[in-house]
Amino acid sequence: MDSNGKRYLKDFLGAMAAYTLTVPLSIRLLRGHEHTALGYALAFLAIIPSAFALWAFLRYFQGLDELQRRIQFEAVAFSFLGTCLITLTWAFQQNAGLPRFDVSWGAPLLIFLWGIGVGIAKRSYQ
- CA dist., res. 24 & res. 46, Å (int): 9
Measuring CA to CA, which residue among 55, 73, 76 is closest to residue 64?
73
Phi-psi region of 101 (alpha: psi -120 to 50; beta: other; left: phi over 0): beta
pLDDT for position 83? 97
Residue 106 near residue 87 (C-beta atoms within 8 A): yes
Look up the pTM and report it.
0.80
pLDDT in tens, 102-117: 888 999 999 999 999 9
CA dihedral of residues 12, 81, 116, 123 (deg, nearest 10): -110
- CA dist., res. 12 & res. 20, Å (int): 12
Q: Which run of H or E residues covers position 25?
A: helix 3-30
Per DSSP, helices labelled H in 36-105 are 37-44, 47-62, 66-94
pLDDT in tens, 25-73: 999 999 999 999 999 999 999 899 999 999 999 999 999 999 999 999 9
pLDDT for position 91? 93
pLDDT in tens, 8-26: 999 999 999 999 999 999 9
